[in-house]
Amino acid sequence: MKRELDNSVDDQDICEVEHILKKRTRGKKTQYLVKWVGHKDPTWEPAYNMNGCKEALDQFEGSSKIIRKESKYIPPKSKYNLMQERYYSEPWKMLVGCILLNVTTGRQMKDVMLEILERWPTPKHLTLADDDELRELLTPLGLANKRTLTLKRFSQEWINGNWTLPDELYGIGQYGCDSYRIFVLGEWDKVSPTDKELIRYVEWMRENNCNTTLAGGKEN
């Protein structure tokens, strides 16, 4: 997937798309955040610069359509700086974090999670990940073989889309499902979490009389 660029990537007229990370609208124009082969930093590219990159666009649109459909709730920002508060608008990534947090700490998993999402930024990419490469990256967290299987099977079931709540997906238990309901669906007042960090967040929400706020500033 190669693309001739105007001026976005210096000193090269033709660059190869590694993958598309995000999409945004500026005014009435669509832009994509593109990771280029051989370049460390991604760049925002206008849609007209993506002609000839149908495979990358189809892969991105297909793997992210569920994310965009569900990301209507904006959770209030707390003092706890939870992983879920950063990834609420990208629930697949948030649930990857929940899988990695199983039997480990946030400090241990942070760098590993960032590296995984850098190498395999969508569920489709992660299903195609080399097992040995992924296993090596997961080794510092322990349970590397199990986590490798879980991440890949979970991502495939996410893509299939035959689910309502994430505890129907492989490897997602109460912690992941509670995180999804609290931070993605805004059902924090209907959930009784058992994880101490989620308990603190829900208690903070109640103490501050937080409302359920949708994207665009509307409240439920």
Is residue 46 over pLDDT 50? yes
Per-residue pLDDT, 61: 65
Q: Residue 42: pLDDT band by 50, 70, 90 thresholds?
A: confident
Domain ranges of the chain: 2-62, 83-207
Closest CA to 212 of 193, 191, 194, 196: 191
Nearest to 186 by CA among 74, 69, 86: 74
Predicted local confidence at residue 97, as pLDDT? 97
Residues 10, 11, 41, 195: which is the catalytic one?
195
Q: How confident is the model at residue 10 (pLDDT cuts 50, 70, 90)?
A: very low
pLDDT of residue 71: 53
Q: Which residue, among 26, 24, 28, has the nearest Cα to 42 in the 3D structure?
A: 24
CA distance 158 to 96: 11
SS3 104: coil
Over range 11-20, report the average pLDDT: 68
Specify the pLDDT at position 78.
95
Average pLDDT, stretch 72-78? 88
Please tell me the least confidently modeled range out of 20-24, 193-197, 214-218.
Answer: 214-218
Query: What pTM was estimated for this model as a whole?
Result: 0.70
Helix H or strand E segment including 220:
none
Q: What is the pLDDT of residue 70?
A: 52
E strands, the chain, in order: 2-4, 14-26, 29-36, 43-46
Determine the average pLDDT of the residues in 120-140: 95
Of 175, 212, 213, nearest to 197 (Cα)?
Answer: 175
Token reading at 213: 């706020």
Q: Which CATH number fits domain 83-207: 1.10.357.10, 1.10.340.30, 1.20.5.510, 1.10.4010.10?
A: 1.10.340.30
- Cβ-defined contacts of 175-179 (< 8 Å, 24+): 175/98, 175/101, 175/102, 176/95, 176/98, 176/99, 179/84, 179/94, 179/95, 179/98
| Average pLDDT for the chain | 84
- Joined tokens for residue 89: 């608008």
179 close to 95: Cβ distance less than 8 angstroms? yes
Q: What is the pLDDT of residue 33?
A: 86
Chain mean position to CA 49? 25
The closest alpha carbon to 166, from 146, 187, 143, 135, belongs to: 187
Q: What is the pLDDT of residue 212?
A: 55
What's the pLDDT at 25? 80
As a whole-number percent, the residues of the chain with pLDDT over 90 amount to 54
Say which range, 51-65, 132-146, 150-164, 175-189, has the weakest mean pLDDT. Answer: 51-65
Tell me if residue 195 is catalytic: yes
Domain 2-62 in CATH 3.40.50.410? The answer is no
